[in-house]
Amino acid sequence: MLGLIIGLYTLQKKHVSFSKRVFIGLGVGIIFGIVLQLIYGTASEVVVTSVEWFNIVGSGYVSFLKMIVMPLVFISILSAFTKLKMTNNIGKISGWVLGTLIGTTAIAAVVGISSAMLFNLEAIQIEQGEAEMGRAAQLEEQVGTVENLTIPQQILSLIPTNPFLDLTGARPTSTISIVIFAAILGMAFLGVKRKEPQYAEKFADLVETFYKIIMRVVTLILRLTPYGVLALMTKVTATSDYTAIWKLGKFVLASYVALIAMFIIHLLILAIVGQNPITYVKKSFPVLAFAFTSRTSAGTLPLNIKAQTNNLGVPEGIANFAGSFGLTIGQNGCAGIYPAMLAIMIAPTVGIDIFSPSFLITLVAVVAISSFGVAGVGGGATFAALIVLSALNLPVGLAGLLISVEPLIDMGRTALNVSGSMTAGIVTSKATKELDMTIYNDQSRSVVE
């Protein structure tokens, strides 16, 4: 691993592009992990100990990214106000971001339903082993928490009651709460600027100073991306249970067919608003590759925002709104495709006709609404599935059926979530006529500039 890291560093010194180094780290990590498993096996002491050391690089990188998420969101949105961006159309921006996220999630639900039907997926086809039974028991315990939260309660949980606590990321809705808090401070700044401009100018200078420092920290961390991807991908391929993947291959295949189909829909949406989808794929690759390997939308946020602003021409304020809201609202993979597929698989076990128009319309509506409410109960595919299954009166314990292949499917889901938030940023920028086409079309720009 140390030799591979040195090899990547050598490529950096030879000025090989950032995207190519991320791709190389991804490919080499896959090969290295498979080789380790073929030689030693998944549970051998050699692999377990090695992965523990690899985590210093992989998990360490993810921790650095999570460290900077809250300061980045807070200062970037506040900076957008002090630079007189978003002043007159903050309502329009928020509406477009949320509308795009929730709208694409509804489409993702239809895609998930279609894939499950195409592959004739049924819950009774899966053998429940110890892992599945254990997961089912855990989900049964959690469902009470989900059922006790109404949509109004979930919306109220977004409002910051203690912004200093939220800056620590203590609550599932902390990121959205910080967005709201920063926006309130920004509007207060505009009020002071009208009445006492001398104080507003001092505040703006202070915010700009902090912004420059935070963005420099982000750049320093993002330069570690190829190494983080290498270590994370090695861990995934070295420790994956390929026997379980083989047994559940049909379900894995159906999931990835749905995920890829939805990603293509993202590209079609970009084409409809007049953007080159191929350019988007090239420029978003480092972000999506990291999201795929790390399985964390929050950890990907700094890379997401930096790519939107540096590579895709999205203004800082819109990029932060789209990236931050996309962490907990309208996740196309976790809150769209996954719950819809599970519902189609589980519904026949309680005698529901999955081809019934009323059931399908209700399912899509519940998925779309629940994608907003996931933030109130912690986010993620599991909670999204619990909300949807509970709302449809389906047995929630069966949501743990795919626990054996969950990590593999979750990789694709996370990448799609991040793509959805980036798409929302571009669409919103286009709608508000703030997208910088020069940056979007510039093939020489790097995400870590």
DSSP 3-state helix, strand, coil percentages of the chain (rounded to 5)? 80, 0, 20
Q: What is the pLDDT of residues 183-222, one digit of tens each?
A: 899 889 989 998 999 999 999 999 999 988 998 898 889 8
Q: What is the DSSP string of 246-290?
A: HHTHHHHHHHHHHHHHHHHHHHHHHHHTT--HHHHHHHHHHHHHH
Confidence check: pLDDT of 176 > 70 = yes
The residue type found at 213 is: I
Over residues 314-327, mean pLDDT: 86
Residue 429 near residue 313 (C-beta atoms within 8 A): yes
Residue 248 near residue 131 (C-beta atoms within 8 A): no
The residue type found at 205 is: D
Highest averaged pLDDT of the listed ranges 60-64, 142-146, 321-325: 60-64
Q: Please, which residues have CB within 8 angstroms of residue 161's CB and are 6 or more apart in sequence?
A: none
Q: What is the pLDDT of residues 395-412, one digit of tens each?
A: 876 666 666 677 788 889
Joined tokens for residue 23: 């791709």
Residue 27's pLDDT band (boundaries 50, 70, 90)? very high
pLDDT (0 to 100) of residue 118: 94
Closest of 40, 413, 21, 407 to residue 230, by C-alpha: 21
pLDDT (0 to 100) of residue 146: 47
pLDDT (0 to 100) of residue 83: 75
Residue 320 near residue 310 (C-beta atoms within 8 A): no
Q: At CA 78, angle to CA 73 and CA 81, rounded to 5?
A: 135
In this structure, the chain runs to a length of 449
pLDDT (0 to 100) of residue 130: 47
Q: What is the pLDDT of residues 244-276, one digit of tens each?
A: 677 778 888 999 999 999 999 999 999 999 999
The helix/strand count (H/E) of the chain reads as 20, 0
Distance CA 175, CA 323 (A): 10
Distance CA 325, CA 176 (A): 6
Instruction: Please give the residue that has the higher pLDDT: either 12 or 146.
Output: 12
The residue type found at 156 is: L
Instruction: Please give the residue that has the higher pLDDT: either 393 or 111.
Output: 111
Residue 332 near residue 303 (C-beta atoms within 8 A): no
Residue 207 near residue 188 (C-beta atoms within 8 A): no
pLDDT (0 to 100) of residue 132: 44
Instruction: Please report, rounded to a whole number, the percentage of residues in the chain having pLDDT higher than 90.
Output: 45
pLDDT (0 to 100) of residue 378: 41
Return the SS3 of 374: helix
pLDDT (0 to 100) of residue 104: 96
Q: How many CA atoms lie within 13 A of 32 on its CB side?
A: 23
Prediction pTM value? 0.82
Q: What is the pLDDT of residues 76-85, one digit of tens each?
A: 888 878 876 6
Confidence check: pLDDT of 87 > 70 = no
Q: How many CA atoms lie within 13 A of 418 on its CB side?
A: 32
